[in-house]
Amino acid sequence: MAETTKTADPCVMVIFGATGDLTKRKLLPALYNLARQDFLPHSFAIVGVGRQEMTTEAFRAQMTQHLEEFVQTLSAGTQAASLQKKEKDKRASRQRSDDRLIKWLLERTYYTGGDFDDDKKLFSDLKELLGEITATHQIPDNYFFYMATPPDLFANVTQKVVKNGLGKEENGNWRRFVYEKPFGTDLTSAEALNQKLLRLIKERQIYRIDHYLGKETVQNILVFRFGNSIFEPIWNRNFVDHVQITVAETLGVEQRGGYYDSAGALRDMIPNHILQLVTLTAMEPPVSFDADPVRDEQAKILQAIQPFSPEDVLQCAVRGQYGEGEIGGTAVPAYRDEERVAPASNTETFAALNLSIDNWRWADVPFYVRTGKRLSTRHSSIVIQFKKAPFMLFRETGIERLTTNRIVIHIQPDEGITLHFGAKIPGPVVNMGPVDMDFNYLDHFGEQVSTGYERLLYDCMIGDATLFQRADMVEAGWRIVQPVIDVWKALPARDFPNYAAGSWGPAEADAFMTADGRRWINELK
């Protein structure tokens, strides 16, 4: 990974889909945070591109409103409930600086709109506007194009950018293209999209973004593993019993019912978010933290995950759909009653898999992964569960069983790491109780207001692709889940809904753990 002290290249960020939800909630606040932390180059500009006809002044007015709303929302989520007078004064001072910062961003923001299918007017207007902007702000012809659009527009928009001469790299200047997930809907579509893009641009120009990898704790996995000599020697089949990876949400589908009902939990989360966490947890040490060595090792893990046969799917994959229930004391509807969801939908809102990595380090160590909506609590975590110590020494003591050691890497909502182990309970007899040692990012490093996109946008500007997936990684991820997609499509679920909102998912997910003599770790500190 690139050093954080490196100055980003002067450039222009072109956002296709600039009037959408992603732009206002994530991208603009992320750019604001980068500017506040002095990571944006002084020679920088933003061009919003959308279907809606709008003047630059109108777009700037919308941008001001969105920044005021969502930057404050982010700040409120990380600030303490009470502030001393001195802290209030500091906050007021920061607010005056923030106003100037917003003004600085607005002066560098432009907009053009039109029909994305029109390869003449919209894209010729964009080309002309980019020429004016680079001259006004003295920016070299470095552009990165962010596709905050529906995936079916990725190849079409890229083709028109290239056709109009905006994708050509010359005189030492660069062009980069950022694509949001989902990157394909199955293996066939992912392969086709990769082929289309690679006929237009080079792989080194493509940045397939997964905002989960922008989270500090996800990036810290590699530092935690390879930068601490006490952990790496036990990070293998000799000491680890199994690994659990959970991405749990209390929310339902919100306003995404139309998309979600055609995708489902498996497609939405496992080929990208969860398999990325698997690779970072399981990979071998790379020769360096440069992009390709890291991604080479991640790709090896994806290739080593044993493929599912149709029979395996029935034993090693579980799906669920939430019914009505209660979360936080509030009644919530069943999935089939959500807006823009089919009344008899068979789309899964929960998916769990038992993955086996066929290599020397992880032979016979199962990786259990699960994701779901309307679950009991919101948390994303990686649990490294170690094998039990021999009980022989403690037979004549009051200890009935030993505490199982585990490391829990908390990804959200509170980023940190917990070490769970056993210690003697004070008293005249030998007895053991479980204890935890906790590291929390907020406690140790202070407030870090973040959308999760800051690091990824910064990396794109400096040309560091470490946290972005390559074509082979995307296809390998889909290759792992494709047999599950095929079986679930051929055998529609007959028991949906099969878990209540506010629970931890269907009973079958617990059953395939207990069959192995294990259980999900739901209550995490």
d(CA 460, CA 178): 8
Q: How many CB atoms lie within 10 A of CB 425?
A: 13
d(CA 57, CA 55): 5
d(CA 403, CA 420): 8
Mutual orientation of helices 28-36 and 454-462 as an angle, nearest 10°?
70
Contacts of 489-495 with CB under 8 Å at 24 or more apart are 492/346, 493/319, 493/321, 493/346, 493/348
- Here the tokens at position 71 are 């930057």
Residue 490, exposed/middle/buried by CB under 10 A (0-12, 13-18, 19+)? exposed
Catalytic residue among 242, 273, 410, 420: 273
Backbone angles phi, psi at 107, to 5 degrees: -65, -15
Contacts of 227-235 with CB under 8 Å at 24 or more apart are 231/407, 232/285, 234/386, 235/361, 235/384
Q: Is 273 a catalytic residue?
A: yes
Backbone angles phi, psi at 191, to 5 degrees: -65, -40
Backbone angles phi, psi at 68, to 5 degrees: -60, -35
CA 305 to each of CA 119, 214, 365, 474: distance values in angstroms, whole numbers, following the listed order = 43, 24, 11, 14
Answer yes or no: are the C-beta atoms of 263 and 387 closer than 8 Å.
no
Peptide bond into 426 cis (omega under 30): no
Helix (H, G, I), strand (E, B) or coil at 242: strand
d(CA 195, CA 183): 12
Give CA torsion, residues 127, 130, 136, 141, to 10 deg: -110
Write the DSSP symbol of residue 185.
Answer: S
* DSSP per residue, 305-319: BPPPPHHHHHHHEEE
Q: Does the CA dihedral 226-227-231-232 come out positive or negative?
A: positive
- Here the tokens at position 445 are 């490093």
* DSSP per residue, 248-299: E-S---TT-HHHHHHHHHHHHHIIIIIHHHHHHHHPPPPSSSSHHHHHHHHH
* DSSP per residue, 407-475: EEEEEESS-EEEEEEEEEPSSSS--EEEEEEEEEHHHHH------S-HHHHHHHHHT--TTSB-HHHHH
Residues noted as catalytic: 273
